[in-house]
Structure 1
Amino acid sequence: MTGGPGRPGGDPAEGAPKRRITVAHPRTLAALGGRRPPVSGRKPVAGDLGRQTLGDIYLHSLMRAQLRLGLAVVGVLVAVLGGLPFLFLAAPALRNAMVAGVPVPWLIIGVAVHPVILALAFVCLRHARRNEDDFADLVERS
Structure 2
Amino acid sequence: MAHPRTLAALGSGEPATEHASVHDDLGRQTPLGDIYLRSLMRSQLRLGLAVVGTLALVLGSLPYLFLITPVLRDGTLAGIPVTWLVIGVAVYPVILTLALVCVRRARRNERDFVDLIDRS
Aligned length: 106
1:51 CA drift (Å): 1.8
Match of 1:28 in 2: none
Which of 63, 70, 83 matches 1:85?
Answer: 63
Q: Does residue 1:67 correspond to 2:53, yes or no?
A: no
1:44 CA drift (Å): 0.8
Match of 1:52 in 2: 30
For the residue of structure 2 that corresponds to 1:42, the secondary structure is coil
Q: Does residue 1:114 correspond to 2:92, yes or no?
A: yes
Deviation >6 Å, runs of 4+: none
Match of 2:3 in 1: none
Q: Give 5+ residue unaligned stretches, structure 1.
A: 1-12, 14-18, 20-38
Match of 1:124 in 2: 102
Q: TM-score, normalised by structure 2?
A: 0.83
Matches of 2:53 and 2:30 in 1, distance apart? 32
Same amino acid, percent of matched pairs = 63
Q: Does residue 1:139 correspond to 2:99, yes or no?
A: no
**For residue 122 of structure 1, what is the amino acid of its counterpart?**
L
Query: Could you say what the CA RMSD is over the residues aligned between the two structures, in angstroms?
Result: 1.6
Matches of 2:62 and 2:17 in 1, distance apart? 60
Matches of 1:103 and 1:89 in 2, distance apart? 14
1:93 CA drift (Å): 2.0
Matches of 2:29 and 2:69 in 1, distance apart? 58
Offset from partner CA, 1:81-128 (integer Å, 9 cap, x none): 000000000012210000001000000000000000000001000000
Higher helix share: 2
**For residue 59 of structure 1, what is the amino acid of its counterpart?**
L
Q: TM-score, normalised by structure 1?
A: 0.71
Matches of 2:65 and 2:17 in 1, distance apart? 63
Matches of 2:50 and 2:110 in 1, distance apart? 17
1:43 CA drift (Å): 1.1
